[in-house]
Amino acid sequence: MSLSPASPTETPLSAAVTYSRHLAGAPAAGAPEGLCAIAAGVAAAATDVAPADILGLTRGSSASAEARALAMYLAHVGLGLTLMQVGRGFGRHHSTVAHACRSVEDLRDDGTTDRRLDRLEEAARYAARGGRLAR
């Protein structure tokens, strides 16, 4: 799995946050569906995969599946949703979410990827707070 965007420059954190908040749209603040949409927005900005492909019910391309795994990881680890909540938010079984989280967690052995995942988790939490800094 690659966490590199298609463009040579990484998407700025602020753009990922703005985009993910736009995607979350109508769900109530803090609702699992809204938090899954935020995670999908951050993953979309980080991987240059369309949010519709990440949130789609079919597997799609390998890039879409990898971006979806990242989004599910961010929803579970970064935003604290249960595997069941993430599964419902992405239309997947909780065992699929667990597998996705393990596959992303395995990438953390690389220091650069570990730091990038930390920043993406931060971006997801920031967006979930409505763009406010933590106290």
Q: Is 122 exposed, middle or buried (0-12, 13-18, 19+ CB in 10 A)?
A: middle
With a cut of 50, say whether residue 5 has pLDDT above it.
no
pLDDT digits (tens, 9 = 90+) for 29-73: 568 889 999 999 999 999 999 999 999 888 889 999 999 999 999
Predicted local distance difference test score (pLDDT) of residue 59: 85
Backbone CA torsion sign across 74, 4, 41, 129? positive
Sequence length of the chain is 135
Predicted local distance difference test score (pLDDT) of residue 54: 95
Please indicate, yes or no, whether the overall pTM of this predicted structure exceeds 0.85.
no
pLDDT digits (tens, 9 = 90+) for 103-115: 999 999 999 999 9
Average pLDDT over residues 70-97: 96
Predicted local distance difference test score (pLDDT) of residue 2: 54
Which DSSP string corresponds to 51-120? Answer: HHHHH-SS---HHHHHHHHHHHHIIIIIT---HHHHHHHHT--HHHHHHHHHHHHHGGGSHHHHHHHHHH
Spatial distance between the Cα atoms of 112 and 133, rounded to a whole number of angstroms: 24
Average pLDDT over residues 86-108: 96
Predicted local distance difference test score (pLDDT) of residue 18: 52
Predicted local distance difference test score (pLDDT) of residue 126: 93
